[in-house]
Amino acid sequence: MSASWQHCASCAQEIPETDTHARCPRCQGLLEVRHPAPATTGAALRALFDDRRGGANHRGPYSSGVWRFRELVLPTAADCILTYPEGNTPLLARPAVSAWAGARELLLKHEGHNPTGSFKDRGMTVGVTQARRIGATAVACASTGNTGASLAAYAALAGLPALVIVPKGKVAVGKLAQALAYGARTLVMRGNFDRCLELVDAASERLGVYLLNSINPFRLEGQKTIVFELLQQLDWEPPDWIVVPAGNLGNTAAFGKALGEARALELISRLPRLAAVQAAGAAPFAASFREGFARRHRVEPHTVATAINIGNPASYDRAVRAIRETDGVVTAVSDDEILEAKAVVDAAGIGCEPASAASVAGVRQLIRDGTIGTTDRIVAVLTGHILKDPMTVTFYHQEREPPPPRANRPVEIEPTLSEIERELRACLTT
Ligand code: F0G
């Protein structure tokens, strides 16, 4: 099979698939991985992917919801794939969530069901596979938490040393705990995520460490499979909208690339529209969108959704392309809206971390302002697991004053049967 290659989106330089630079060596622009055309398209390619999803693939790479789409991810990686496996995440329908958002058909693609609890595993299986292929001696990333957790786990699987740099005091406890437990050398830095990324980017070039932030184009190849998998779960009948939380914009970019490829290969016959949702306190991409992308904004970010507390998104250019090519939109929702959406998703028995709920809050807002129609078919992506950020849950339900409308306060009781009976009666009447 002929190799893929890397293409610089800024200067059109082409470099080999196995080049070790994280950016274009000529102009420092962002790279994109391009693959040779698969042997088949349309129904035959759908059948190939559907066949791999069937019962015979309990083991091996095709049991992964990433590597099942190998031809569109990294075709030549066959014999050195490093996989848990990951992906195969559920597409959930919950009437309470749809009703809150005002949607007739809202499905939730729950990426929190990945091995380390976030969508990052889809990109990391490809990124760390690539790190091994090029003989990297160490891997590194800056992170708001999930990338670090995922990198730490996959590096442990590969037997590679990992360096994770996180902003001090701005990472949810579950994520930091994971990076430490999986054995990454974890550097806690004063400053915000954007500064962490600048530093690790420079360090990787200078110190020869393989950079595995979503700047790395191989990460995005893996993240594309969120889209391929949800299309497959819908029997390749695309929804009208795919809604995704947006921070560093890796996912927005990956989704645009995935949809373009799915359309070009006739896996689908029309393009869904993308909606990228930011937290209002960290919404430089939404500000640019409002101005028709006339200029790039940078902000000092502040949001309760620490995963997307990002002021200068690295994949800005790629994400602009994704929004333009899918006739997409970008919006921002307040922290209160995010926390209310999260409380609704949580109380439906699903659960997600705060940043994930931005997508559901975004659906409600876009329906209210008439951008999304009430009868449109919508898939919202939940990017991370509820247990990533237990402190936010504790604060919302137990500590916030006055209690928010959906707070579920614990009730302290005396050790008597009558107290339990009283509470049971209260349960049955509310
Ligand atoms: N949701 C979660 C749970 C995330 O962890 C992230 C990003 C996003 C959404 C935003 O995705 O950056 O592709 O636009 N987390 C990164 C990290 C930045 O370091 O874990 P994006």
- Give pLDDT tens digits for 238-278: 999 999 999 999 999 999 999 999 999 999 999 999 999 99
Q: Whose CA is closest to 251, among 383, 160, 343?
A: 383
Residue 276 burial (10 A CB sphere; 0-12, 13-18, 19+): buried
Distance 308 CA to ligand 1 centre (A): 6
Task: Tell me which amino acid residue 109 is.
Answer: K
- At 206, give phi and psi (nearest 5°): -70, -40
Closest CA to 111 of 204, 250, 302: 250
Name the percent of the chain in helix, strand, coil, to the closest 5.
45, 15, 40
- Ligand 1 binding pocket includes 311 (Cβ within 6 Å): no
What is the rounded average pLDDT for all residues in the chain? 96
The string of pLDDT tens digits covering residues 25-77 is 999 999 999 999 999 999 999 999 999 997 666 788 999 999 999 999 999 88
Structural domain contains residue 264: yes
The CA-based angle 28-73-109, given to 5 degrees, is 105
CATH assignment of the domain containing 307: 3.40.50.1100
Residues 363 and 199: their CA atoms lie apart, in Å, by: 35
User: Measured from the CB, is residue 33 less than 6 Å from ligand 1?
Assistant: no
Confidence of residue 2 (pLDDT cuts 50, 70, 90): low
Q: What is the pLDDT of residue 77?
A: 85
Q: Kindly give the number of the ligand 1 atom that is closest to the alpha carbon of 223.
A: 13
Cβ of residue 140 lying under 6 Å from some atom of ligand 1: no
Reported pTM: 0.97
Residue 189 lies in a domain: no
Distance CA 42, CA 202 (A): 42
- 246 CB less than 6 Å from ligand 1? yes
Pairwise CA distance, residues 69 & 409, whole Å: 45
Q: Residue 429 Cα, ligand 1 centroid: separation in angstroms?
A: 40
For residue 1, the model assigns a pLDDT of 55
Ligand 1: which of 252, 383, 386, 392 to mutate, judged by most atoms within 8 Å of the beta carbon?
Answer: 383
pLDDT confidence bin for 78, thresholds 50/70/90: confident
Substitution site in 120, 176, 316, 381 for ligand 1 pocket (most atoms within 8 Å of beta carbon): 120
- 147 alpha carbon to ligand 1 midpoint, in Å? 7
Domain total of the chain: 1
**E strand spans, 215-358:** 241-245, 273-279, 329-333
Which residue's structure tokens are 């990686």? 77
- Please, what is the Cα angle at 89 between 84 and 95, to 5 degrees? 160
Q: Is the CB of 354 under 6 A from ligand 1?
A: no
For the residues of 276-295, what is the DSSP string, one character each? EEEEGGG-HHHHHHHTTT-S
Is 314's pLDDT higher than 60? yes
Is 250 a domain residue? Answer: yes
145 lines ligand 1 (CB under 6 A): yes
Q: Quick check: helix, strand or coil at residue 22?
A: coil
**Which residue among 251, 285, 331 is best mutated to probe the pocket of ligand 1, counting the most ligand atoms within 8 A of its Cβ?**
251
Pairwise CA distance, residues 294 & 277, whole Å: 19
6/15 Cα distance (integer angstroms): 5
Q: Report pLDDT for 15.
A: 95
Among 162, 151, 165, smallest CA distance to 197 is for 165
Bridge partners of 333? 279
Kindly state if the Cβ of 147 falls inside 6 Å of ligand 1: yes
pLDDT tens column, 379-409: 999 999 999 999 999 999 999 999 999 999 9
Distance between Cα 388 and ligand 1 center (Å): 12
178 within a domain of the structure (yes/no): no
Of residues 164 and 22, the one with the higher pLDDT is: 164
pLDDT band at 79 (very low <50, low <70, confident <90, very high): confident
What's the confidence (pLDDT) of residue 22? 84
Please say whether the beta carbons of 96 and 368 come within 8 A: no
Among protein residues, the one with the nearest Cα to ligand 1's atom 15 is: 307
Which residue matches tokens 């009868």? 375
CA 188 to CA 138: how far, in whole Å? Answer: 18
Q: DSSP strand E in 268-400: where?
A: 273-279, 329-333, 377-382
Cα 150 to ligand 1 centroid, rounded to whole Å? 11
Residues 6+ apart with CB under 8 A from 243: 274, 275, 277, 359, 360, 362, 363, 366, 378, 379, 380, 381
Q: How far apart are the first and last CA of the chain?
A: 63
Atom of ligand 1 nearest to the CA of 249: 14
Residue 161 φ then ψ, to 5°: -65, 140
Query: For residue 362, what are the domain limits?
Result: 91-117+219-392
For the four alpha carbons of 15, 19, 21 and 26, in that order, the dihedral sign comes to: negative
- 185-189 and 139-142 beta bridge pairing: unpaired
| Spatial separation of the C-alpha atoms in residues 352 and 390, rounded to whole Å | 10
Spatial distance between the Cα atoms of 372 and 381, rounded to a whole number of angstroms: 16
10 within a domain of the structure (yes/no): no
Q: Tell me, what's the pLDDT at 58? A: 74
Mutation to probe ligand 1, out of 166, 195, 248, 249 (largest number of atoms < 8 A from CB)? 248
Tell how far the Cα of 278 is from the centroid of ligand 1, in angstroms. Answer: 11
Contacts (Cβ under 8 Å, ≥6 apart) of 420: 413
Residue 22 lies in a domain: no
The number of the ligand 1 atom at minimal distance from the alpha carbon of 355 is 1
Determine the pLDDT at residue 205.
84
Please report whether residue 386 resides in a domain.
Answer: yes
Ligand 1 neighbour 383 (Cβ under 6 A): yes
